[in-house]
Amino acid sequence: MITLKSARLLSLSILATGCFASVAFAQDAKKDPAQPPSKEDSPTNFAQLDAVKGYGGLAFNSDFSAAKDLVVEQDRGPLKIYKKKGEKLIIGSALLETILYYYYEGKLYGVAFHTNDGQDTLNLKSIFAFAFGDGQDSDDSGPSTIWIGKKNGALFDVNTSTGDGSGFIFDHKLHDAYLKYETEAAQKAAGQLIKGE
């Protein structure tokens, strides 16, 4: 079942691609090249972000065959999104609506956390900030925050109308592979649309 939150999260991953270049550049830039980087140089704790192995006992890049008790939520061809049966939907003080596991070509690529209430959204965003630092807010001053490390990334988006939110942690390599597939699929579909196929 395709939900608005899942569609929004996928579009948020596209935002991450756009922000990646500027954040990666900022990650390498220092105020004074002769000085080691300090916590003030970056809004992201790269060591902690890149130390994330996965979630729910499942490691990023692990085969789907290693997973247990997952039920298909969406099938998008090479991208499949699953829920875990009987999963505890609380992380810290944030009550979650759902946790989704994203598999691209049979490998765990990311994990999404969704809330449906303003207080739980704030609690989940605080957890992301404590874990990864303040992050970089979207250039348009919108309600999106991104953290990009060398190995992993994280996104957070708030729906300011409803108060619900989505957090997403992901493996860069598989994320980039999925975005390449998504771009190629869109280009192919555009050609079919133009031809009337």
Residue 195: Cβ within 10 Å count:
7
pLDDT above 60 (res 25): no
Q: What pTM does this model have?
A: 0.77
Rounded CA separation 55/85 (Å): 15
Task: Give the whole-angstrom CA distance, residue 177 versus residue 112.
Answer: 18
- pLDDT for the residue numbered 140: 65
Question: Mean pLDDT throughout 145-164?
Answer: 93
In the predicted structure, residue 46 carries a pLDDT above the cut 50 = yes
Tokens of residue 70, six digits: 């997952």
Q: Which of 165, 176, 126, 115 is nearest to 143 (CA)?
A: 165
pLDDT value at position 45? 87
User: Which range among 42-46, 52-56, 66-70, 166-170 shows the weakest confidence by mean pLDDT?
Assistant: 42-46
Residue range 72-117, pLDDT digits in tens: 999 999 999 999 999 999 999 999 999 999 999 999 999 999 999 9
Question: Among residues 22, 43, 42, which one has the least CA distance to residue 139?
Answer: 22
